[in-house]
Structures are given as C-alpha cells and as structure tokens.
C-alpha cells in the first residue's frame, strides 16, 4: 500500500447488559473538526475528516473524545451505560496500482474497553446518551476519575477520596491561600472545598485518613454529600468553557444535617 489513509474506525457499543438495555434507539450523529461519528445498530462508526496514515494515529485523535463521552455518561447517569470497544479500522490506498480499485484494508481487532461496576437494577433506554458539549479529559480528571472508580469498587475509603480530591485541587497552587486560589480557579465556593477537607480529616472511623478521624464515622448525610460533591468536582475539573459555568455553592449540594 503506497499511500494508506484511515477512512474510518469502527467500535462496538458496550454496556452492562444486566443493568441496561437499549430499545431500538435512533441513530445518533455528531460532527467535530477532525471526525464525525454515528451511533447506530450497536456500533459506532467514526469517519475521519483529517488524513492519518496509520490506525494508531487515528485512534489517538478519536479515543480521548470517546473516553470523555464514557466518563461524562458515568457521571450524569451511572456506570455501565455506555462504552466503546475498538473493533477494526478501514484503510484505503490513495495511490493504488493502476489496474486496481482502491483497496480497503481492515486492521486486526484492537482493544479499547470501558469497564465499570454494574449499575443497580435494570434500565431500558430508548436513546443513546448524548456526548458532552464541553467536557474533556483534563490532567485533573485523569487523576480524579480512577480514584473515584476505585472508591466505587471498594478499594478506597471515603475519607481517602475526599482528601485526595482536595489535594488535587489545591496542589496546583502555592502559598497560604491555595485553597482559596483553587476555589477561584474552578469557580467553586470556598466553603465547599473547605467542608470537604474538614470531613476528610475528622471522619472515617477505622478507615480514617488521619488520627483525628478515627473517633467518628461518616453520617449517612455526610456520605451522600461527599459522593455528590466529588461528582460535581470531576465535572467541573473537565469543563472546557470560558468562562466557567455558574459557581458551585453549598446550596447546590445536599443538606448535611
């Protein structure tokens, strides 16, 4: 093949079949600068608008977007609702032999699997989840999301996750006011981050991060508050808007008492 060109990438749409089913959803089409994607019949076909000579290069452009779509769906719905598993690519020769047609080459199946904890109960969906309009996998999301996944899978304690989230937001800044700087940067009310830090330090019982937290377990209200807060913080850390959306305040979160 003298001038290979990746025409399209094909993915299987995956989901937790025990918890989710799709009832004949209509096709969903979206278009971006580098590619267009169509979800239909249980598969996603990504047509490349830019030239890529090899599969790996094309996938490196497409898959951060697909991963952001997965994470955003997990945050807004629940885990197990949408994933993309790479199946194959279609590659054409833009300079084929004179006597032949353009050759379509299908690469060997690859792997890009979304894994998530099964959802609770069963949900029938009539539409594919829409992609995010302004959410991307920022460095902060790449740090926060795996830790939150580990918590959901039972591998991290609630106090650990709360403290980790505070440190990721704060440690980008220096000085005595880094918590306030983080709150301003992410357009989050200072009291939200401060309360998260307080709960991480003073709660947790046998799974506490600090000695001061060993004497008191999280109340159900506190656990609900932390779970809700960290999901909002992940979304805010991935917001690709300027200016950022409305400030996240204590009033946007569940009651603590």
CA terminus-to-terminus distance, the chain: 67
| 8: nearest Cα among 126, 91, 128, 122 | 91
- d(Cα 204, Cα 100) in Å, to the nearest integer? 69
* CA distances in angstroms from 257 to 77, 166, 195, 254, listed in the order given: 26, 22, 13, 9
Burial of 217 per CB tally in 10 Å (0-12, 13-18, 19+) = middle
Average pLDDT, the chain: 90
pLDDT at 98 over 90: no
CB 197 within 8 A of CB 230: no
CB 81 within 8 A of CB 70: no
**Could you tell me the two tokens for 4?**
């290979």
pLDDT band at 120 (very low <50, low <70, confident <90, very high): low
* Mean pLDDT along residues 118-146: 89
| Residue range 13-66, pLDDT digits in tens | 999 988 899 999 999 999 999 999 999 999 999 999 999 999 999 999 999 999
pLDDT at 109 over 50: no
* Mean pLDDT along residues 217-237: 96
Query: In terms of C-beta distances under 8 Å and separation of at least 24 residues, what long-range contacts does 217-224 make, across chains too?
Result: 218/158, 218/159, 221/254, 221/255, 221/256, 221/257, 222/256, 223/158, 224/254
pLDDT at 117: 44
**Residues in a beta bridge with 106:** 90
Element (H, E) at 141: helix 139-152
pLDDT at 158 over 50: yes
| Residue range 192-208, pLDDT digits in tens | 999 999 999 999 888 87
pLDDT at 2: 78
Q: What percent of the chain has pLDDT over 90?
A: 78
pLDDT at 103 over 80: no
Lowest mean pLDDT among 96-100, 114-118, 161-165: 114-118
């Amino acid at each position: 093949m003298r001038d290979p060109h990746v025409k399209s990438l094909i993915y299987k749409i995956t989901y937790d079949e025990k918890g989710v089913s799709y009832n004949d959803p209509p096709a969903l089409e979206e278009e971006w600068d580098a590619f267009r994607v169509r979800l239909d019949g249980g598969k996603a076909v990504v047509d490349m608008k830019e030239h890529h000579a090899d599969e790996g290069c094309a996938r490196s452009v497409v898959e951060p977007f697909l991963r952001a779509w997965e994470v955003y769906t997990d945050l807004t719905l629940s885990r197990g609702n949408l994933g993309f598993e790479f199946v194959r690519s279609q590659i054409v020769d833009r300079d084929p032999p004179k006597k032949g047609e353009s050759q379509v080459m299908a690469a060997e199946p690859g792997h890009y699997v979304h894994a998530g904890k099964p959802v609770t109960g069963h949900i029938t969906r009539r539409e594919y989840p829409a992609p995010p309009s302004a959410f991307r996998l920022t460095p902060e999301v790449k740090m926060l999301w795996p830790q939150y996944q580990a918590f959901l899978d039972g591998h991290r304690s609630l106090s650990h996750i709360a403290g980790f989230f505070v440190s990721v937001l704060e440690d980008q800044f220096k000085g005595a006011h880094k918590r306030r700087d983080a709150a301003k940067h992410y357009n989050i009310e200072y009291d939200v981050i401060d309360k998260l830090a307080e709960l991480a330090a003073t709660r947790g019982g046998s799974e506490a991060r600090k000695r001061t937290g060993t004497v008191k377990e999280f109340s159900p209200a506190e656990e609900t508050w932390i779970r809700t807060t960290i999901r909002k913080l992940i979304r805010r850390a991935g917001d690709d808007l300027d200016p950022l959306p409305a400030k996240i305040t204590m009033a946007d979160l569940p009651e603590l008492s």
